[in-house]
Structure 1
Amino acid sequence: MKKALLLFALLAMVNALAQELKSPSEFLGYELGTQFTRHHEVVDYYQYLAKVAPDRVQLNEYGKTNERRPLLLAYVSSAENIKNLENIRAEHLKNTSGEGNPSKAIVWLSYNVHGNESVSTEASMQTTYELLTTKSDYLENTVVLVDPCINPDGRDRYVNWYNETKNTPNNVDPNSKEHHEGWLSGRANHYMFDLNRDWAWLTQVESQQRLKFFNKWLPHVHVDFHEQGVDNPYYFSPAAEPYHEVITDFQRDFQKTVGKNHARYFDANGWFYFTKEVFDLLYPSYGDTYPTYNGGIGMTYEQGGSGRAGLGIITSIGDTLTLKDRIAHHHTTGLSTVEVASKNAQKLNDEFKKFYTNKNFTYKSYVLNGDQDKIDALTRLLDQHEITYQAGKQATVKGFRYKTGKTGSMKTSSNSLIIPGDQSKGTLVKVLFEPNAKLSDSVTYDITAWSLPHAYGLDAIATTTAVSGTAYAKTESATTNLSESSYAFLTDWNSMNDARFLAELIQENIRVRYNYKPFTLDGKSYPRGTLIIAKGDNKNHKAYLGTLQKVAEKHNKNLTPAQTGFVDSGKDFGSGWVQVVNDVKIAVLSGEPTSTLRFGEIWHFFEQQLHYPFAVIDADYMNRVDLSEYDVLVLPGGWGYRRFMKEDTLKDLKEWVRNGGKLIAMGGSIDAISGEKGFGLNKKEIKKDSAHTMRPFDGSERERIKNAITGAIFKTKVDNTHPLAFGYDDNYFTLKLGNDAFDYMSEGNVVYLEEKQNKPVSGFAGSIAQKNINKTLVFGVEDFGRGSVVYMVDNPLFRGFWENGKLFFANALFMVD
C-alpha cells in the first residue's frame, strides 16, 4: 500500500510539472512537426521555459551570429543542481588536475549545426520539455546543457525558403520544388562555412563564442545532431573506424553503451538504424571528435531527411518520411543519452579524471621557429583553446623535424615558441601538432592531415624529452615616429598581417611599391616583395605621415626609414624592377557553378581577414556585366564549370584577360578553362593499366581509394623569385584535397611537385593517385596578352585554417601583374 501511495504521489508531481509548463506545441500554437519553427520563435520558447521554471532552467545568450541572431545555451537540471550550478562546474573542472570529487554528469546537446538539417532544433524543444516534466528524474544527478541552434543564420535561411516555397498542404512528391533548395542552401552559416568542421580552427564567430562556454564546462558527453540523405535510416554510435589512437578504451566502450540503449528504444518501435559505418573519429574539428579530444564522449547522430525532406517526402521504397517521424527519432536518442549519462554519472567522472591524469605521449614538446606574425597568429588560436605555451631560450633542440621528415636539430631563441605536451590540454595538443596522424583505416570521412606547424608555415621540431622555456610575452605594439625628411619607409612582406597592412594603405590612398629583385641599403638586406612607401609617391596626400603611422601602429608594423632611393646593391627605387601596387578592383563569381563552401571561403577572406572590398557577380547575369570595369576576377572552386563555361563565355573571358584582366582560377574551375580551347594549361594525361583486374564486389571501395587523396600534406618546390611566391621559402607544404593533376607549363610554374615528390608527408594518398600527381603544378601564372591567369590547383583558403597559404592569394591579387 505504501509503494502504491508513493507511486501515486510521484505521478501526481509529474503531472503537476507538466501542467505548469506548456509543451512546444501548446506554446507555439501548432502541433510540433506540422510547421518549421523560425529561430526567433525557438528563442521565445526557451525564454518562456526560463521564465516559468527559473529554478530548473537557466538561459544564457553566449553570443550573436553575423546576422545578429542570438546564440543560446540552456542549463537544464533539478532545482538543487541549478542552485549549485557554479559549484558543480568548479568541482567538475578540478577533475582535469586530478583534484576534484564531483558526482554529477555533464551532458551537452548541440542541435542544428547545419541549418537545413532542421529537425534537430524542433526536437530540442520537445526533449527539453520532457526533461523538465516526464523525465525529470534523469536530472537529479545530471546537468544538461542544450544549444538549440548552433547555426541560426543557416536555419532561418532554410526555414524562410521552405515556408515561401512549399505547397499548401505540403507536397510529398520528391520532384516538387519544396524538396529542391537552390545554390545558397541553409546548410552553412552566413559566410557559407560548415560550422561542423570549424571546432578546432575557430574561423567563425559562432565557433569562437561557443568555445568560451565549452571550455568552462568540458562536458562528459557531447552529442551533435545531424541529418543525412532521405533514404538513410538513423545513425548513432558507436562510430566507424578510424578512431584516433588517443581515444581511450573507456571512450570507445561508452559509445557502445549509449548505442545499445538507443537500440533498445528503436527496436521497440521497429525503427531502422545503423552503427559503426561512415562517420569516423579522426578529423579533429568535428562536433564529436573535438569534445572527445577534450576528455568527453563525443557522438554524432544522423537522421534521414535533411533539406530535401521538408514536412514530408516519399522515399525510394515508397514510404513517407515526415517531420514528425524525424523529431521522434532525435527526441528519443536525446533522452536516451541523458538517461545513460545519469545511470553512469560516477563512472563518467572517474574516467574523465583518468583522461586528464594519464598521459604518456611520445612527443613531450613542440618547438617552433618562424616569422613573428605567424607565431602570433598561432598563439591567438592556442589562447582560444586554452592551450599553454612558453617562449624559448638560446639552445639547440633535437627531435623529429617537420621540414625534413627526419630526426634533426634546430637552434632556439627567445623568439621561439614551445608548446608542452604535458599540460591539461595535452591530448588536444598531440592531435593538432602531431607530424602524421596514425590511420587504423584508410577509408575516412574527411581530411587526414592538418598538422599546425605546416598549416602556419613554421619550422618545427617534436621532441621526446621536455623542453623548458620562459614566460611568453606577447609582441608589443610597434611605436613608429615617422620623419618628414625620410625619402621612404620600408617594411617586410611575409604574412597575412602584412597583407592587411597593405590593403588598408591602398584604401587610405597611400601609394606603395614593391621590389622584384633583392637589394641592400645601409648594410641591411631586403628580399623580394619588400614594401616601399615613398614620400615622392604620396606628395599629394595631405595626411600622408599621420595616416601611415596610424595604420602601422594598428597592424603592429615596424617601418624602417630610408634617406635615399640609391641602394647599396640591387635596383634603385626608381627602377622598372620596383613596381607600384595597383589599387585593384576585384570581382568574385558566385552561384552555380561554384561551390558554396569555396565561394564562402573567399567571401570570408576578403571581409573578415584581408578587409578589402570586392564585388559579387552571380553566374546568372555574368554575361551582362562589363568585365572591363574590374581588374581581377576570381573563379572559386566548384563542379559545374563545364556546363557554365560555354564557348561564348570562354571567348569573352579570354578577350578580357588579353586586354589586361587578371583571372584567378581555383580548384574545379581550372579544368573548364584549360586544354585546347581554353588557356595554356593542360590536364595531365593519366596512363591507365590496360590489364583488367578481377576483384570482388566487397573490395570495390578499397580499390577506389587507390585513386583518392583525402586531404594529405605534400612538400612542394617553390620558385620564390616569382611575384606569386614573394614572402615564401623555396619549399611549401600544401594541403592537397583531391587528385586533380595538371602538367607543367613552359614557364610560370611557381609551386609544383617535383619528380618523386609525390608521397605525402602526412595523411593518406592512394597508390595510383600518387603516381598521377608526379611532376604536376600546384600554383602557377600564365601570361596571356596584356593580362594573366593565376592557377590555384590546391586551395590555399580551405576552411580558412591553412594560414600559410593565404599570402599566395594576396600575392595573386596585389603582386602579380
Structure 2
Amino acid sequence: MIRYIYGLLLTFVFLQVNAQNITPEQFLGYPLGDKFTFHHQVLEYYKNIAAQNPDRVKLIQYGSTYEGRPLMVAIVASPQNLSRLEDIRSNHLKSIKLTAGVSATGSTSNEKTPAIAWLGYNIHGNEAVSSETAMKVLHELLNKTNTLTQEILKNTVVILDPCSNPDGRERYVSWYNRVQNAVPDVTPFALEHDEPWPGGRFNHYLFDLNRDWAWQTQKETQERVAFYNQWMPHLHADFHEMGSARSYYFPPAAKPYHQDITKWQREFNEILGKNCRKYFDQRNWTYFSKKDYDLFYPSYGDTWPTYNGAIGITYEQGGGGRGGLALSRPDQNDTLTLKSRIEHHYITSLATLETISAQKEKIVSEFINFYDNAVQKPTGSYKTYLIKNQGNEERVRAFSEWLTKQGFEYGITGKSLTLKGTELTNLTEQNIKTETNDLLISAYQPKSNLLKILFEAQPILEDSITYDITSWGLSYLYGLQAYGIKEKLTSSPYQPEKIDNNIPAAKPYAYLARWNSVNGAVFLSELLKRKILVRSSNVPFEANNTSFDAGTLIITKKGNSVYNFDSLVTSLATKHRIKLFPTSTGSVSSGVDYGSDEVVSITPPKVVTLYGEGISTTSLGAVWHYFEQQIKYPLTLISSNKIAQLPLDQVNVLILPDGNYLGILNDKMLTALQDWIKRGGRLIVMENANEAFLNKPGFDISRKMSGPKKNTDPFRKFGARERDESSYSSPGSMYQVTMDTTHPLAFGCGKEYFSIVRNAYGIDYLSEGWNVGYLSETGYKAGFVGNKATEKLKNTLIMGVQKMGQGHVVYLMDDPLFRGMLYNGKILFSNAIFR
C-alpha cells in the first residue's frame, strides 16, 4: 500500500513538473523536425510555457509586423533574477550611462548585474530552422534536471526572440506545408526544394531585415531596436542558414574586422568558437570558421550590437529555403534533415549561453569599460560633429529623428562660433562660422563608438574581400553639410523649427513651397491625391525678395476650384512640415513668371511596377515601400508575366525594378513600350533592367567599348581566384555623381549627390538624351573598388533621360532607393515619378 501511494506521489510530481515544462513535441503533437511549425503555434507554445512558469519566464510583445503579426520575446531567468528584473535592467543601463527608459522606481541594489544574452532567431523568414530551435532552447532552459541550463540561469538573463520576421516565415512555411510530400522527397529538383518568388527571406515589403539595423527603415527593425535599447544586452547572437550544400559556420569571424572592435570582443570570438568546436568535434559534425562572414558593414545583427559594445555573433547552418524537411546531398554522401539542422542550432545556442555564463564577470566589466571609455575618452579624431542647419531644416529634422531612434544624444550650438573643422564629404579642413541652430553631436556620450563608425567618411579595410558594402558615411547618406571637429563642444537643447502656415488676410495669388526634402514629396503626393493642381518652375526665380531654386512648387488659385482651397493647402503643408511662401502676384522680380512655359503642371500619374519572376525582390520592395510607407502615393503592382496584357493607355509611369528581363521583354513588347512612350508615357528603368534596352533600336543606351577580357593570364593561380574576382568588383563603394543640376531629375538634390556603387557599369553617355548624372575621373570617395573595376567606373553613365516623342525614358544604372539609405535618392526618385 505504501509502495502504491509512493508511486502515485511520484507520478503526481512528474505530471506537475511536466505541466510546468511541456516539451514542444507534447504541445505541437509531432516531433520537432517532422514538419515546419506555423508562427502562431510557436508563440502559443511560448505563451503556454510562460503561463506555467511565471517565476522564470516573462513574455513581452515589443511590436508587430506590417501584416499585423506580433513580435515577441521571452525573458528567461532564475526565480531570484526574474523577481528583480526591472532592477537588473535599470541598474545595468545606469552602469553604462544610459538611462532612457529606466523606471523611476528602479532601485540601486548592490547585487551584481548578471550577464544579459539575446538570442535572435529567424530574421530571414525562409531560414526557418531557427524558430523550431527557439522552442527547444526555451524548453531546455527551464528543464530543472539539466544542470548546465540551470547554471546558465543563475548567471545570465536570457532574452529569446523566437522569430524576428514572422511575415517572411509564414510566407515560407505556408508554401512548404502546401507542397511537401507525405514522405519528404529528398530529390534536389523536387518541388518542395524549389521555393517560388519572392521567397520567405524578406519581410512584407521585401526588405532584408538583417541589413536594416542601422538604417531602421522597416517597422520591425524600429520596434526591435527600441526594445533592444531598453536592455542593451552584453551579447547578441543571430541564427541563420546558408546554402544547402554547406556545413555550419560559427566564430571566429572572417576578416575584415572593423578597427574599432575591441581586443576583448576579438578574444570572446575565439573563446566562443573554441567552445562550439568542442561540441561539434564530439559529434563529428562538419563546420568552418574565419571565412565569408566578416565584422565590418555596421547594419547587421552581429556588427550593430558589436559597435554598441556587445559580443555580436552570427551562426549559419547549411539549408535555407531549399533545405525543406530533408534534402539529399550526393556530393557529401548524406541527407540534410530539418532535425539535424535544429540540433546544430540548439547546440550552438547552449554553447553560447554556457560561454557567456562562464565569463559573466568579465563580460559585464568589459561592457562597462566600453561605455566608460565612450563617455570619457571616445575613439577617433573628432570629438564633436557639426551639421549645418540653415536651408536644410527639414533634412536635419529627419536626421535628428534617426539619431533619436539610434539612442544618440544631440543638441544645437546655441550661439555663433568660429571654428576649424573637417568637411566630411571631401575631408578638407575649413573655417566654419556656425549659426545658433546648427546641430551638434558630441563624441562624449555612451554610444560614441557606433556614432564614430556611422559617420566615417573612409572606413579602413584590413582585407578587400568583404561580404557587403564598404562605405556608408552619414554625411553622404543624408546629403548633409557635416564637419568633424577635434574639440569638445557643449550643446543646447534642440527643437525643430515650428511650422505653422496661416492664411494671409488678403488671400494670395499662389503659395510657393521649396522642393528639397522627402516631406516635399509627401506634401505633393497628398495635393495630387486631393486633385489640387500643382505647378513647378524649371528655372530658379526670385519673388518677394526671396530666392527659390528650380523645382519649387507653385500652387495657384487659378485652376483650383477646390472648396476651402486656402485652408486645405495651408493645413496640409503644416501637417507635412512644409513652409509655405504666399505671394500676391503672378509676377517675379527675376526668373520667369508663373504663366511661363518654364512653369509646368504636375499631373497625378497612374504608376505601375512589375512584381514576380525575374524581378529583384529587394529592388521591387524598395519601390513598394517608398510609395506606400514614405510618400503615401498609390502604386499598382502587376505580375511580370502579365506585362503584355497591361493596358498601357491607362498608365502614365511604368517602373522596371532591377532584375533579369530576358523572359519578360521581347522585341514585340519593346516596340509596344516605344509607342506608349511616344504618346507621353514615362518609363523608369533600374539597374540590370537596363540590359534589356542596350543597343536596341530606338533606345539611346549602350555599353562602352569593353577592355581586356577577364583572366587573360593562362598561368593564373587557382588559389588566388577569389581575390582575382574581387579586382573586378565594387561591392558597395561611395562615389560623388557629377550632376546636371538644371535638369528636373536633379531638382532638390543639392549641389552634391552621392551614390553607393555596387557594379562596374561601363555604360556610355547618351548621344541624344540628357546625361543627368555620371561618374567622372574623380568621383570616388570611399570603400573598396577593385583595380579592374576602377577603370570601368570612370566616365560612365549613372542616370540619364531620353526624350522619345511626348514621353521619356529614365535610365537609372544605380538604385536611388537602395535599402532606403539615401535621402537624396528618394528626392531624385520622386522627380522621376512626378516630373
TM-score (norm 1): 0.96
Residues 1:75 and 2:75 aligned together: yes
> Secondary structure of 1:261's partner?
helix
2:372 corresponding residue in structure 1: 357
Q: How does 1:405-444 map to 2 (within 5 A)?
A: 405-444=427-466
Question: CA separation of 1:146/1:13 partners in 2, compared to 1, >3 Å: closer, same or farther?
Answer: farther
CA distance in 2, matches of 1:755, 1:21: 65
- Tell me if the contact between 1:480 and 1:552 (Cα under 8 Å) persists in the aligned partners: no
- Tell me if the contact between 2:307 and 2:450 (Cα under 8 Å) persists in the aligned partners: yes
Q: Name the amino acid aligned to 1:25.
A: E
1:32 corresponding residue in structure 2: 32
Query: Of residues 277, 285, 292 in structure 1, which corresponds to 2:299?
Result: 285
2:317 corresponding residue in structure 1: 303
Residues 1:764 and 2:784 aligned together: yes
**Per-residue deviation, 1:666:** 0.5
Query: Of residues 649, 652, 655 in structure 2, which corresponds to 1:631?
Result: 652
Residues 1:276 and 2:290 aligned together: yes
Question: CA separation of 1:101/1:246 partners in 2, compared to 1, >3 Å: closer, same or farther?
Answer: farther
CA distance in 1, matches of 2:762, 2:394: 33
CA RMSD of aligned residues (A): 1.8
CA distance in 1, matches of 2:586, 2:133: 69
> Secondary structure of 2:559's partner?
helix
Question: CA separation of 1:275/1:552 partners in 2, compared to 1, >3 Å: closer, same or farther?
Answer: same
1:369 corresponding residue in structure 2: 388
CA distance in 2, matches of 1:373, 1:243: 36
Query: Of residues 762, 775, 788 in structure 2, which corresponds to 1:741?
Result: 762
CA distance in 1, matches of 2:84, 2:821: 39
Structure 1 stretch displaced more, 640-649 or 318-327:
640-649
Q: How does 1:603-752 map to 2 (within 5 A)?
A: 603-638=624-659, 640-677=660-697, 679-688=699-708, 692=713, 694-752=715-773
CA distance in 2, matches of 1:678, 1:155: 44
**Per-residue deviation, 1:750:** 4.5
Residues 1:59 and 2:59 aligned together: yes
> Secondary structure of 1:182's partner?
coil
- Tell me if the contact between 1:222 and 1:299 (Cα under 8 Å) persists in the aligned partners: yes
> Secondary structure of 1:277's partner?
coil
1:50-95 Cα deviation digits (max 9, x unpaired): 1000100000011111111000010001111100111111222222
CA distance in 2, matches of 1:482, 1:555: 19
Q: Name the amino acid aligned to 1:489.
A: Y
> Secondary structure of 2:404's partner?
helix
- Tell me if the contact between 2:800 and 2:812 (Cα under 8 Å) persists in the aligned partners: yes
Q: Name the amino acid aligned to 1:33.
A: G
Structure 1 stretch displaced more, 368-377 or 28-37:
368-377
Question: CA separation of 1:782/1:710 partners in 2, compared to 1, >3 Å: closer, same or farther?
Answer: same
Query: Of residues 337, 355, 359 in structure 2, which corresponds to 1:344?
Result: 359
Residues 1:112 and 2:122 aligned together: yes
Structure 1 stretch displaced more, 477-486 or 678-687:
477-486
- Tell me if the contact between 1:420 and 1:466 (Cα under 8 Å) persists in the aligned partners: yes
In structure 1, the gaps of 5 or more residues are 1-11
CA distance in 2, matches of 1:316, 1:91: 54
1:542-568 Cα deviation digits (max 9, x unpaired): 231221122011012221111110111
CA distance in 1, matches of 2:419, 2:496: 23
CA distance in 2, matches of 1:169, 1:19: 32
1:382 corresponding residue in structure 2: 403
CA distance in 2, matches of 1:722, 1:483: 37
> Secondary structure of 2:357's partner?
helix
CA distance in 1, matches of 2:353, 2:680: 63
- Tell me if the contact between 2:501 and 2:580 (Cα under 8 Å) persists in the aligned partners: no
**Per-residue deviation, 1:768:** 1.3
Structure 1 stretch displaced more, 728-737 or 208-217:
728-737
CA distance in 1, matches of 2:636, 2:42: 35
2:241 corresponding residue in structure 1: 227
Question: CA separation of 1:315/1:275 partners in 2, compared to 1, >3 Å: closer, same or farther?
Answer: same
**Per-residue deviation, 1:281:** 0.5
Structure 1 stretch displaced more, 420-429 or 760-769:
760-769
**Per-residue deviation, 1:736:** 0.9
2:803 corresponding residue in structure 1: 783
1:731-765 Cα deviation digits (max 9, x unpaired): 3111111112211113544543454224x211111
- Tell me if the contact between 2:535 and 2:601 (Cα under 8 Å) persists in the aligned partners: yes
Question: CA separation of 1:102/1:737 partners in 2, compared to 1, >3 Å: closer, same or farther?
Answer: farther
1:207 corresponding residue in structure 2: 221
Question: Any runs of at least 4 consecutive aligned residues in structure 1 with deviations exceeding 6 A, and if so which?
Answer: 12-16, 98-101
2:592 corresponding residue in structure 1: 571
> Secondary structure of 1:668's partner?
helix
Residues 1:445 and 2:467 aligned together: yes
**Per-residue deviation, 1:729:** 2.9
- Tell me if the contact between 2:477 and 2:821 (Cα under 8 Å) persists in the aligned partners: yes
CA distance in 2, matches of 1:517, 1:477: 26
- Tell me if the contact between 1:95 and 1:101 (Cα under 8 Å) persists in the aligned partners: no
CA distance in 2, matches of 1:529, 1:437: 35
- Tell me if the contact between 2:19 and 2:52 (Cα under 8 Å) persists in the aligned partners: no
2:7 corresponding residue in structure 1: none
Structure 1 stretch displaced more, 167-176 or 438-447:
167-176
1:161 corresponding residue in structure 2: 175
1:677-729 Cα deviation digits (max 9, x unpaired): 36111112221179636321111111111111111111121111111111133
- Tell me if the contact between 2:425 and 2:457 (Cα under 8 Å) persists in the aligned partners: no
Structure 1 stretch displaced more, 323-332 or 799-808:
799-808
How many residues are treated as equivalent by the alignment? Answer: 801
TM-score (norm 2): 0.94
Q: Name the amino acid aligned to 2:123.
A: V
- Tell me if the contact between 1:486 and 1:563 (Cα under 8 Å) persists in the aligned partners: yes
Structure 1 stretch displaced more, 363-372 or 211-220:
363-372
CA distance in 2, matches of 1:724, 1:342: 56
Q: Name the amino acid aligned to 2:458.
A: N
Residues 1:534 and 2:556 aligned together: yes
Query: Of residues 489, 492, 495 in structure 1, which corresponds to 2:511?
Result: 489
1:497-532 Cα deviation digits (max 9, x unpaired): 111111101111111111112212222222111111
CA distance in 2, matches of 1:17, 1:372: 61
